[in-house]
C-alpha cells in the first residue's frame, strides 16, 4: 500500500511539473557579453518572469536566464523556490550593465524571510548566471550585451 501511494505521488508530481513547465517554455538565444558567448533562456511573458530559474538544481557554465521587461525601472528579484546561488546583472534599456549582485539560494528559507534584491539603477534586462560568473569572467559595470 505504501509503495502504491509513493508511485501515485510520483505520477502526480510528474503531471504537475509538466503542466508548470509547458506553461512557461522559454525560448533560447545567444548573447555576447564581454567577449563571451552566453546561451540564455529568455523570460518575457508574465508567467516566465515569475517562474525564472525556480526549481532548477543545476546550471551549466555560460548558460543562464535573461529577463526582458517592457520598460526600464528599478527591478526587484527574490529567490523563492530557487535552489541555486546566483549572480544577477541588471542592464538598462541600452543593454549596458548597471549593477551586479550575488543572490543566496532560497532553499530551506521561510518565504517571509527571503531577501529582495533591488537593482541599484533602473533596468530593462536582468541576467541570472551561476554564482560568481560576472567576477570570474571579468564582466564590469558599463559592459554591454548584444544578441548573437
Predicted confidence (pLDDT) per residue in 5-58, tens digit = 444 443 334 444 444 444 469 999 999 999 999 999 999 999 999 999 999 999
**For residue 18, is it within any domain?**
no
pTM of the full structure: 0.83
Distance from the Cα of residue 50 to its chain's centroid: 10
CA distance 46 to 4: 37
In sign, the C-alpha dihedral spanning 72, 35, 65, 119 is negative
**For residue 129, is it within any domain?**
yes
Average pLDDT, the chain: 87
- Residues whose CB falls within 8 Å of the CB of residue 84, separated by 6 or more in sequence, listed in order: 53, 56, 57, 58, 59, 105, 130, 131
Q: What percent of the chain has pLDDT over 70?
A: 84
**Number of domains the chain contains:** 1
CA distance 115 to 27: 28
Coil/strand/helix, residue 19 = helix
Q: What is the CATH number of the domain that holds 72?
A: 2.60.120.1140
Amino acid at each position: 500500500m505504501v509503495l502504491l501511494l509513493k508511485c501515485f505521488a510520483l505520477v502526480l508530481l510528474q503531471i504537475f511539473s509538466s503542466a508548470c513547465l509547458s506553461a512557461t517554455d522559454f525560448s533560447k538565444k545567444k548573447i555576447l557579453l564581454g567577449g563571451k558567448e552566453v546561451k540564455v533562456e529568455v523570460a518575457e511573458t508574465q508567467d516566465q518572469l515569475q517562474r525564472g530559474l525556480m526549481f532548477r538544481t543545476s546550471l551549466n557554465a555560460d548558460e543562464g536566464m535573461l529577463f526582458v521587461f517592457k520598460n526600464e525601472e528599478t527591478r526587484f528579484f527574490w529567490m523563492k523556490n530557487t535552489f541555486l546561488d546566483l549572480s544577477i546583472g541588471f542592464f538598462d534599456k541600452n543593454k549596458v550593465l548597471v549593477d551586479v549582485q550575488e543572490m543566496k539560494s532560497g532553499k530551506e528559507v521561510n518565504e517571509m524571510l527571503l531577501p529582495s534584491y533591488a537593482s541599484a539603477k533602473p533596468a530593462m534586462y536582468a541576467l541570472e548566471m551561476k554564482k560568481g560568473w560576472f567576477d570570474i569572467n571579468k564582466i564590469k559595470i558599463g559592459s554591454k550585451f548584444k544578441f548573437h
